[in-house]
Structure 1
């Protein structure tokens, strides 16, 4: 039980750290894409099962990489 709680808190801390990259991506992506990314980040933050909390930051990083890479390749987003 204690280990679940520790894993949950570590997952939350990692997700908050990923939030920094989401917010900082406003330097690269247009406003509408930043708003969408922040909504996705917030949705990933809301998890009801503590066992799934560590998957949230991993999912967030994969979504962020996919969106920013695709925007750079297909839409010409640059810093």
Structure 2
């Protein structure tokens, strides 16, 4: 019996999740503390889903950091421009 190689998409998605965590933690420099806390809580939820999907649905794991980034970017851009978070 030949064992198949696992698809790499779950690993790629988890690497992107790690990058997203650094983005979320980096918001502490430009946003109020509670925004950073909300981003980290969102990341924890996305990470739990990623762990659940890692083996049965590895391609879906790729979408989770994309969703997190799609929420992070406009929040930071609009928050720093309109609400004056950055200084």
- The TM-score bracket by the shorter chain reads 0.7 to 0.9
Larger helix proportion of the pair: 1
C-alpha RMSD of the superposition: 1.5
1:40 equivalent to 2:42? Answer yes
CA distance in structure 2 between the partners assigned to 1:11 and 1:74 by the alignment? 32
Taking structure 2 as the reference length, the TM-score comes to: 0.77
TM-score between both structures, scaled by the size of structure 1: 0.84
Counterpart pick for 2:10 among 1, 8, 11: 8
* Larger Rg over CA atoms: 2
Q: Provide the secondary structure at the position in 1 that maps to 2:15.
A: helix
Q: Name the structure 1 match of 2:32.
A: 30
1:46 and 1:52 map into 2 onto residues whose CA distance is 13
Specify every segment of 5 or more residues in structure 1 that has no aligned partner in the other structure, as ranges.
none
Deviation above 6 Å: which 4+ runs of structure 1? none
Deviations 1:41-68 (A, max 9, x none): 1111122223311001111111110211
